[in-house]
Amino acid sequence: MSAGRNVAHWLRTNQGVGVLIAIAAALLFYYLWQQDWYHRVQRDRFSLGFFPGLGVVAIFVCAVAITVDQWRKEVAADMATVGWLDLGWALLFSGAGYILFQMMELLGLPLAATIFLFLLMTLLGVRPWYLAAGIGVGVAIIVFVLFSVLGIRLPGGFFPLLGI
């Protein structure tokens, strides 16, 4: 077995996956720590970044745990067939999430989420197209209304102009 195949096999083991997740969590925590909002203290004397940071630390601890446990050399059945195409899909969906975030500032959540959901559902095979469009509109409006009822402001785009 060549060195490249050994690395590819190791990356599929629990240990390899754990190391990659631990690195990603450490980088995310470092990024969060550098943000001004992370250190802003709230009324309850917790910093605004306490719970996101706590979540990232929990991810890091669990990732490190799977790198040293007794099953660290095992490859999960689903991971045995993972290839570069799967990485491409993961990057595509991550990029789509970033684009959605940017679109929300310009168009508001309902319109941006409708476009996002329609395109990704169509890409994943939801047919006919009008079913994907209807589900996209419905989900976007339901999420927007639920958050509005809870008092959480989301970018509304044209909805505030309608008095909603």
pLDDT tens-digit profile of 19-38?
Answer: 999 999 999 999 999 999 99
Which residue's structure tokens are 């083991």? 13
pLDDT of residue 78: 86
CB under 8 Å to 32, separation ≥6 — which residues? Answer: 38, 49, 52, 53, 56
Q: How far, in Å, CA of 26 to CA of 30, rounded?
A: 6
pTM of the model: 0.65
Task: Tell me the mean pLDDT in the region 156-164.
Answer: 60
pLDDT band at 158 (very low <50, low <70, confident <90, very high): low
pLDDT of residue 42: 87
Task: Tell me the mean pLDDT in the region 50-62.
Answer: 96
